Chain A
Amino acid sequence: MADLRTNFAGIQSPNPFWLASGPPTNTYGQVAKAFDEGWGGAVWKTIGEPIINVFSRYGSVDLGATRMMGFNNIELISDRPIADNLKEIAEVKRNYPKHAVIASLMVESKQKAWHEMVKQTEDTGADGIELNFGCPHGMSERGMGSAVGQVPDYTCQIVEWVKEVATIPVIVKLTPNVTDITYIARAAVKGGADALSLINTINSIVGVDLTTFEPQPSVAGKSSHGGYCGPAVKPIALHLVSAVAGDPKVTVPVSGIGGIASWRDAAEFIALGAGTLQVCTAVMHYGFRVIEDLIDGLSNWMDERGHRTIADIRGRALPRVAKWEDLDLNYHLLAHIDQDKCIQCELCWTACEDGAHQAIRRLERNGKRETGNGKRAPVVEIIEEACVGCNLCAAVCPVHDCITMRQIPNDFPAVTWKEYAAGKGKLAPRSDQFHTATWSSRHV
């Protein structure tokens, strides 16, 4: 059985799955229930001077009939008194001493305010502090949240103030709404951050009501940009986590956040350098119970692959994140269609013909199709000399493993663009030259 215990910047937790700061971590009751159901840690809903929220706070994006592929919010930080929050944090920590309890903080950008807030927080016995420099909506208009996290100097300054008084680990939560997140990450590290967490939500408008022209979510006919999260943002988060975790100047651990909904997502974040995972939208959609398969699936996968601890897999994909100029130009692929699996939808053909490289040939349909019958003559085939191995056909194919990408061996040594541009190495004959040579004659 894999050992999922985690030590993240000195913060211990029974597993790497923490609830991210947000609505699920608003109260003692929620966090205690989450711990009872198996969550390893929780970052409390951001505490600060209590705010007043609007009614209608969340917007959702469906993909076809799938609900909440993406999700956004215009909710602010906790609307509960600071004292209530701190009292409940202390109580949770007292009752769940082995779980990670992190206080998320956001106060106005003054040294004194931060000092007072941090001191009060430490009295609760919390295991760590997360500085919310990320929320892109509402609080940013008041000079907090992403207004801090978008400026390296502000980030560094406030982390310094916090570290002047903090004795427990300080995690800085980064906003993705910047041109290069590594500048902000480095500024936080320079200020003394013990760890980073990312990503906070992405600035967004989820949609417009086409009857009333109200952007969503509507508040009495108007809306404001909100923070986007959920499964839709995972690829963006994976990239930013890898950029920060792979930055040699970032010497602190990274907590991964952004669309994690399954153990596979979690494993990918860990492989790209995350030490812990933070989850919010999946819980808002399905409840705390999602932790069961997060743990079970991750654990089974680790057992099957022979990985014993989280540390064994953390960052394992990072060395494989390369610059484009370092990719091998002589690695050639060819699409292969398994005609026994093909259900003859021709999606590969139309995608390749209109959207890619005209490398699939249509054949005549073999008459009328009968239900559940035996073999039919193929309706599509790869034009091998034209296929550039782009993956599009495999991506659109609705049948698992029907279209696979196979390597075509050649006798040419690997050569990268960097080498080739410098006059080193030779390119193997390439199918994309076929297009250059024949395009005009094929498409008159």
Chain B
Amino acid sequence: MSVHDHPPVLTDEQLAANFADIAPPLTNDYALLEANKCLFCHDAPCTIACPTHIDVPAFIKKIASGNLRGSARVILEANPFGHSCARACPVEVLCEGACVLNDRDEQPIKIALLQRHATDYVLEHKLKLFEPGAPTGRTVAIVGAGPAGLSCARELRRFGHAVTVFESKSQAGGLNTYGIAEYKLKADVALAEVEDILDLGVELRTGVTVESIEELLTEYDAVFVGVGLGSTKRLGIPGEDLPGVIDALTFIEHLKTHPYRDTKVGQRVVVIGAGNTAIDAVTQAKRLGAATATIVYRRGEADMPCYHYEYELAKRDGCGFRFQAAPQRIVSNGNGAAAGVEVRTPLGNEVIPCDMVIVAIGQGERDEFAIPREHPKVFVGGDCANGGAEIVNAAAEGVQAAKQIHERLING
């Protein structure tokens, strides 16, 4: 039986439960309790650790004082993607990992959940916290409507520059909309966050593939490129085009843009790779109803590029791990569909049987056009600049680029 004729085993209720928020929002009482635990550090390590340098103690104290609007403003002023970062940021290695209370209580303040508490208030009440600046007559083109491009767009609009964003997909938001694990961030929140930025008067052109940056430079005073990375790298082994083999981003995008039931999953799923995207793929395959979902990784446990807490999550989800297992080829069944992954192990070759293979060995660079990175009017940020990092890095880089663009446009 291949992935394509495998009947769904979970009910809609079970699927909804499996993809519910992994970190549900705090109640008002809990938020107050948690906010009051914050010490209000001076020169706070959490703020230093955040790539966008959100003044964390300040926004937490505002929660404690009942000033949720002010709290959200502190967050979103520093980070235009404060909503999604509250849900998908690797806080264990950023703000929460830096919290001084790790040393006293062995538990940090729940910064991400407090950030969500404050920013959810803005979404619920549809508050508009920012306004466009007085028009400057300058125009900027932004290529890519992900966190980097839209962060840049928001800040440029606040400076008063006209902004046009070009996006090849049908919806804005980039990986926030299409690529974050569903149990962390759902597309409706990602899109609401995008809408907030567009409301400042950003012109968005979706379904448009930019072919030349130079061409844009003839029409616009500056260009920001935040196109992210390209598609998943190929394995380069026999059988990777067999039915039943899919790349992780395509798998996750399908899941995030369709009813859960409509995303096909095998009974026995193998995920090749051990980065954070591989974890997203393996956990979501399991949550879709796969009987087994196993990470197959050519190196050892300590070598896995994923965050430790992501590894822990996958283990809690019941996912399997095969280390020191280097894929050699995808084995097909009698019907020409994937039926196993042959791996080389220290004990020799073996075939790990499966009916679905998800490839998650990282994304390649985009190759649709050359980015003239040295051009004085061209600015670059996000994954295509940093090689692939977090939403918060993209946001920080977008905001930083907007300041540089503004400086260039005003002072020449």
Contact = CB atoms under 8 A, between A and B. Distances in A.
Contact-size category for A: 20 to 34
A349 B41 CA distance: 10
Interface string B223-265: 0000000000000000000000000000000000000000000
Contacts of A369: 45, 49, 97-98, 100
A84 interface: no
Contacts of B23: none
Contact-size category for B: 20 to 34
A368 B48 contact: yes
A361 to B, nearest CB: 13
A344 interface: yes
Contacts of A370: 97
Given A343-B101, A368-B98, A65 B39 contact: no
A372 B107 CA distance: 10
Interface in B272-291: none
B164 to A, nearest CB: 38
Contacts of A343: 100-101, 103-104
Given A346-B41, A347-B41, A365-B48, A372 B36 contact: no
Given A347-B39, A370-B97, A64 B103 contact: no
A65 B27 CA distance: 13
Contacts of A399: 104
A379 B49 CA distance: 16
B40 A65 contact: no
A344 B40 contact: no
A344 B32 contact: no
A362 B101 CA distance: 20
B106 interface: yes
B90 to A, nearest CB: 12
Contact of B104 (A365, A368, A398): A398
A347 B42 CA distance: 6
A130 to B, nearest CB: 38
Contact of A64 (B29, B64, B100): B64
Given A65-B32, A343-B103, A365-B48, A350 B98 contact: no
Interface string A392-403: 000000110000
Contacts of B104: 343, 398-399
A371 interface: yes
Nearest to B65: A64
B166 to A, nearest CB: 36
A240 B104 CA distance: 37
B49 A368 contact: yes
B36 A65 contact: yes
A365 B44 CA distance: 10
Contacts of B49: 368-369
Interface in A343-392: 343-347, 349-350, 362, 365, 368-372, 379
B43 interface: yes
Contacts of B97: 369-371
Contact of B100 (A65, A344, A349, A350): A344
Nearest to B100: A343
A82 to B, nearest CB: 43
B33 A349 contact: no
B349 interface: no
Most chain A CB within a 10 A radius of its CB, from B29, B43, B102, B103? B103
Interface in B372-410: none
Nearest to A396: B39
Contacts of A66: 36
Interface string A192-221: 000000000000000000000000000000
A83 to B, nearest CB: 45
A347 B106 contact: no
Contacts of A345: 39, 41-42, 44, 100
Contact of B43 (A64, A365, A372): A365
B103 A349 contact: no
Interface in B35-85: 35-36, 39-45, 48-49, 64
Interface in A65-89: 65-66
A365 B102 contact: no
B129 to A, nearest CB: 22
Interface in A393-444: 398-399
B40 A347 contact: yes
Interface string B85-112: 0000000100001101111101010000
B29 to A, nearest CB: 8
A352 to B, nearest CB: 11
A399 B29 CA distance: 25
Contacts of B106: 372
Contacts of B100: 343-345, 369
A346 B43 contact: yes
A49 to B, nearest CB: 43
B42 A349 contact: yes
Given A64-B64, A370-B97, A371-B97, A346 B32 contact: no
Contacts of A398: 39, 104
Contacts of A65: 29, 32-33, 35-36
B42 A346 contact: yes
Interface in A334-349: 343-347, 349
B45 A371 contact: no
Interface in B287-336: none
Interface string B144-181: 00000000000000000000000000000000000000
A235 B136 CA distance: 61
A65 B37 CA distance: 9
A379 B98 CA distance: 15
Contacts of A372: 102-103, 106
Contacts of A347: 39-42
Nearest to A354: B42
A216 to B, nearest CB: 15
Contacts of B39: 345, 347, 398
A370 B93 CA distance: 8
A66 B64 CA distance: 12
A379 B100 CA distance: 12
A355 to B, nearest CB: 12
Contacts of B98: 368-369, 371
Nearest to B41: A345
A346 B46 CA distance: 13
Interface in B102-125: 102-104, 106, 108
A441 B42 CA distance: 25
Nearest to B94: A368
A347 B49 CA distance: 18
Contacts of A346: 41-43
A66 B32 CA distance: 10
Interface of B: 29, 32-33, 35-36, 39-45, 48-49, 64, 92, 97-98, 100-104, 106, 108
- For the complex of A and B, the 10 pairs showing the least CB-CB separation, nearest first, are A64-B36, A346-B42, A345-B41, A350-B42, A343-B100, A343-B103, A65-B33, A65-B36, A371-B97, A369-B98
Given A347-B40, A370-B97, A399-B104, 16 more contacts: A64-B32, A64-B64, A65-B35, A65-B36, A343-B101, A346-B41, A347-B39, A347-B42, A349-B42, A365-B45, A368-B45, A368-B98, A369-B49, A369-B98, A372-B103, A379-B43
Interface of A: 64-66, 343-347, 349-350, 362, 365, 368-372, 379, 398-399
25 contacts: A64-B36, A65-B29, A65-B32, A344-B41, A344-B45, A344-B100, A345-B39, A345-B41, A345-B42, A345-B44, A345-B100, A347-B40, A362-B43, A365-B43, A368-B48, A368-B49, A369-B49, A369-B100, A371-B92, A371-B97, A371-B102, A372-B103, A379-B43, A398-B104, A399-B104
